[in-house]
């Protein structure tokens, strides 16, 4: 896992370094300790800018998305604005995630950062969107900056950092479903204004369908109704966002009845088609037309 390192935040000339060597480097411990006791933010930022930094997600000719040489198959997360009282609690939660390769305290001592391994480096941003939602399920908000593959990570040191080289690969990606009419529907399946799929996406409700197919309601958080997949007694397998009418599924277990290899958002039409019609669009259109959709 080779990444690019820069001698300081402002330096633009990279050199290669192995991520494990970087994580274990104790060269700048005294500088880190000085930053953590400095109460003035502007002074802390100045001290931080003088420390070396890396791009955890790859190697670059210069630090810019367009100049990526090779992806490291790593993606970073950053949890900011924690207090000394809460930082260990958040850390204890994060290190229980099966995907956490590394988790340590940030240079300021006021946050946490870490690394996940990902399965599709060419889908970095989609992985990050899924990562955000994964943390949200655990009531943790992460900074959006690492959605950029060239996002920088300044030097820090945590003598009690967590490292798990056997961490599971994070295979989930987030894809917004296409808002347009399903292209597989025949013209006979649509009316002059809206397709049956569009109508069902806008006005349908797939939650009773989930219950009928063995999903279990597991509570509500905000506009999300949480569900546990069939065959599982507890835990969150997915949630239905009631305002956007999207089902986001974490589990890839076949018992979900949703036949995709990685996690994504499903609109009402996609859920109905897969659960009720084994993926047959024409059959789904016929059934929904009989229920009054598309008229």
Choose from 81-85, 139-143, 154-158 the range with maximum mean pLDDT: 154-158
Separation between Cα atoms, residue 64 and residue 62, nearest integer Å:
6
Give the contacts of 139 (CB within 8 A, at least 6 positions apart): none
Could you give the C-alpha distances from 270 to 129, 178, 221, 246, 291, in angstroms and in order? 20, 11, 23, 10, 17
CA atoms within 13 A on the CB side of 31: 17
Overall average pLDDT of the 267-280 stretch: 88
In this prediction, residue 177 carries a pLDDT of 58
Q: Is 9 left (phi over 0), alpha (psi -120 to 50) or beta?
A: alpha
Secondary structure (3-state) at 83: coil
- φ, ψ at 17 (rounded to 5°): -150, 145
User: Which of 251, 290, 288 shows the shortest CA–CA distance to 268?
Assistant: 288
Q: What is the pTM of this model?
A: 0.66
Q: Has residue 225 got a pLDDT over 60?
A: yes
Overall average pLDDT of the 123-151 stretch: 90
Separation between Cα atoms, residue 3 and residue 19, nearest integer Å:
6
Least trusted range by pLDDT, from 16-25, 43-52, 218-227, 252-261: 252-261
Q: Has residue 192 got a pLDDT over 60?
A: no
In this prediction, residue 264 carries a pLDDT of 65
């Amino acid at each position: 896992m080779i990444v690019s390192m820069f001698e300081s935040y402002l330096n633009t000339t990279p050199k290669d370094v192995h991520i494990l060597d970087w994580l274990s480097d104790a060269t700048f411990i005294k500088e880190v300790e000085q930053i953590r006791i400095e109460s003035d933010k502007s002074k802390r930022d100045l001290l931080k800018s003088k420390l070396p930094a890396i791009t955890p997600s790859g190697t670059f000719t210069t630090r810019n998305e367009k100049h990526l040489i090779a992806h490291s198959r790593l993606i970073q997360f950053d949890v900011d604005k924690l207090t000394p009282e809460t930082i260990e609690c958040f850390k204890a939660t994060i290190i229980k995630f099966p995907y956490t390769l590394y988790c340590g305290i940030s240079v300021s001592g006021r946050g946490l950062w870490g690394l996940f391994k990902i399965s599709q480096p060419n889908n970095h941003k989609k992985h990050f969107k899924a990562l955000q939602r994964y943390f949200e399920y655990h009531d943790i908000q992460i900074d959006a900056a690492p959605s950029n593959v060239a996002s920088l990570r300044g030097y820090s040191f945590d003598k009690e950092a967590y490292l798990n080289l056997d961490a599971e690969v994070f295979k989930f990606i987030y894809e917004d479903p296409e808002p347009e009419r399903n292209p597989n529907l025949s013209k006979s399946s649509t009316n002059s204004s809206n397709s049956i799929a569009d109508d069902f996406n806008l006005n349908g409700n797939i939650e009773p369908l989930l219950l009928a197919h063995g999903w279990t309601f597991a509570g509500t958080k905000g506009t999300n109704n949480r569900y546990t997949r069939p065959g599982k007694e507890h835990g969150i397998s997915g949630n239905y966002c009631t305002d956007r009418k999207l089902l986001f599924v974490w589990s890839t277990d076949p018992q979900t009845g949703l036949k995709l290899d990685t996690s994504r958002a499903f609109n009402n039409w996609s859920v109905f088609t897969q659960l009720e019609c084994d993926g047959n669009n024409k059959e789904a259109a016929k059934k929904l037309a009989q229920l009054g959709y598309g008229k």
